Amino acid sequence: MNPLAILLARWRDREGTGEARLLPEGELSGPMPWVIAIMIALTVVAAASGLALRNAAHAASADLEGGVTVQIVSAAPRQRNAQADAALKALAGAPGVASAQRVAQDDLNTLVEPWLGTRPGDDVEALPIPALIDVRLSGSATPDRIAALRARVVPVAPAARVDAQAAWLTPVFRAIDTLQWLAGGLIALLAFATVAAVLLASRNALGNHRETIEIVHMLGGTDQQIARVFQRTMAIDAAAGGIAGLLAGSTILLVLARQFAGLGSGMVGQAGLGWLDWLTIVAIPVAGVLLAVVTARLTVLAALRRML
C-alpha cells in the first residue's frame, strides 16, 4: 500500500461513523486520489498560464493605451533630423499631448542591435533607421485623435508616419486572447475528464458493492445513506488528490516562472500573478472536491433509483 493510501485509510478510520461502515470505504474509489491530483495539477498550470497571459496583456495595454509613435521615414539624415525637429515642435503645442520625446539614437541602435548586430565592423550608421518620437497622450489613442495628430504633423514633416502604439501589438493581443481561450478550454476539458473519471469510479464501486447495497436496502437503508458513504469517500480522496495536485502544479509554476524570468523580456516580465490570482489557484482544488462530490452523489443516486 502506498503512503497516500495508508494516510487516507487512517483518516477514514478516524472518521468512521456507524453509517460510514455500511460499505468498505477504503475500496470504493481506488486510484481516484491520483487521478484527481493529476487533473488538479494540470488545471493549476492551465489556469495560472491563462491568468498570467491576461495580466501581461492588461499591463501592455495600459502602457500603450495613450502611446503614439511618430516615425520620420527618410533616408537622408539631414532631412530626417529637420523633419523630426519640426514634428516635435508641432506636437508640443497639440491639444491632448501630455509629452513628446525623440528617442535617442543610442536607444534606437540598442533596439535594432539583436537584428543588425554590433560586432566590430558592423556599420549601423550606414542603415537609414527612421527617427522616432514617443508621444504620450493625456487619454486613449483613439483613431480620431491619431487623425488629428497626423493632420498637424504631416504638413511640417511629410515623411512622418503617425501610429498608435497599441496598433503594433494588436496581433500579439489577439494571440494572447486566443491562448487565454485555449487555457479556458483546457480547464473545461480537465473538469469534464474529472467528472468522467469520478462517474466511472462511482459506477465501478457501485457494481463491486451491489450485493452489499441490496442488503442495506433490504434492511431499510435509504439511497441518501448509501450516497453519503460514497460522497464522503470521494470528498476525502478528492481533497487528498487536490492538495497533492496543487503542490505539484505550484512547483511546475515556480519552475516556469524562473525560466521565463531569465528571458528578461518586457512583456514576459509583466506576466506575473497577483494575490487574487493565487487565491483563484488555491480555489481550484476546492472546486475539484466539490465537483467530485456532486458527481459521485448524482451518479450513485441515479444508479440506486434503478434498484428497488
Partner 1 sequence: MSQPDAEIVQFDNVGLRYGTGKEVLSDVSFTLYPGCFYFLTGASGAGKTSLLKLLYLSQRPSRGLIRMFGTDAITLPRERLPALRRRIGVVFQDFRLVSHMSAFDNVALPLRVGGVSEKEVTRPVADMLEWVGLGDRMHARPATLSGGEQQRVAIARAVIARPDMLVADEPTGNVDPEMALKLMRLFESLNRLGTTVVVATHDLHLIQKVPDSLIMRLDKGRLSDPTGALRYPPRRSAPIEAPASL
Please answer whether residues 223 and 308 qualify as being in contact, where contact means their C-beta atoms are separated by less than 8 angstroms.
no
For residue 136, list its beta bridge partners.
67, 99
Distances (CA, A) of 86 to 71, 106, 135, 157: 13, 21, 14, 6
Over its C-alpha atoms, the chain yields an Rg (Å, rounded) of 31
Q: Is 204 in the site for partner 1 (CB under 8 A)?
A: no
**C-beta of 226: minimal distance to partner 1 in Å?**
10
| Selected binder of partner 1 within 3, 114, 171, 220 (CB under 8 A) | 220
CA neighbours within 13 Å on the CB side: how many for 267? 12
Distance of CA 52 to the CA centre of its chain: 5
Using the contact rule CB under 8 A, the part of the chain among 79-87, 148-156, 207-215, 272-280 near partner 1 is 207-215
Name the residue among 39, 21, 28 with its Cα closest to residue 231.
28
**C-beta of 197: minimal distance to partner 1 in Å?**
24
DSSP letter at 205?
H
Q: Is 18 in the site for partner 1 (CB under 8 A)?
A: yes
User: Residue 239: what are its φ and ψ, rounded to 5°?
Assistant: -65, -45
Q: Is 61 in the site for partner 1 (CB under 8 A)?
A: no
Q: Is 221 in the site for partner 1 (CB under 8 A)?
A: yes
Residue closer to partner 1 by CB (options 18, 171) is 18
- Residues that bind partner 1 (rule: CB under 8 A) add up to a total of 20
Please answer whether residues 191 and 44 qualify as being in contact, where contact means their C-beta atoms are separated by less than 8 angstroms.
no
| Selected binder of partner 1 within 7, 13, 15, 19 (CB under 8 A) | 19
Q: Is 24 in the site for partner 1 (CB under 8 A)?
A: yes
Q: Is 17 in the site for partner 1 (CB under 8 A)?
A: yes
Residue closer to partner 1 by CB (options 27, 177) is 27
Residue closer to partner 1 by CB (options 125, 214) is 214
Name residues contacting partner 1, limited to 232-261 (CB under 8 A): none
- Report helix, strand or coil for 48: helix
Name residues contacting partner 1, limited to 67-106 (CB under 8 A): none
Q: Is 272 in the site for partner 1 (CB under 8 A)?
A: no
Q: Is 217 in the site for partner 1 (CB under 8 A)?
A: yes
**C-beta of 235: minimal distance to partner 1 in Å?**
20
Distances (CA, A) of 110 to 101, 119, 124, 135, 183: 17, 13, 10, 20, 35
Residue closer to partner 1 by CB (options 55, 208) is 208
Q: Is 212 in the site for partner 1 (CB under 8 A)?
A: yes
- Report helix, strand or coil for 30: coil
Please answer whether residues 242 and 283 qualify as being in contact, where contact means their C-beta atoms are separated by less than 8 angstroms.
no
**C-beta of 219: minimal distance to partner 1 in Å?**
5
Q: Is 223 in the site for partner 1 (CB under 8 A)?
A: yes
Please answer whether residues 196 and 286 qualify as being in contact, where contact means their C-beta atoms are separated by less than 8 angstroms.
no
User: Residue 70: what are its φ and ψ, rounded to 5°?
Assistant: -110, 120
Q: Is 22 in the site for partner 1 (CB under 8 A)?
A: yes
Footprint of partner 1 (CB under 8 A): 17-19, 21-22, 24, 211-212, 215-223, 225, 305, 308
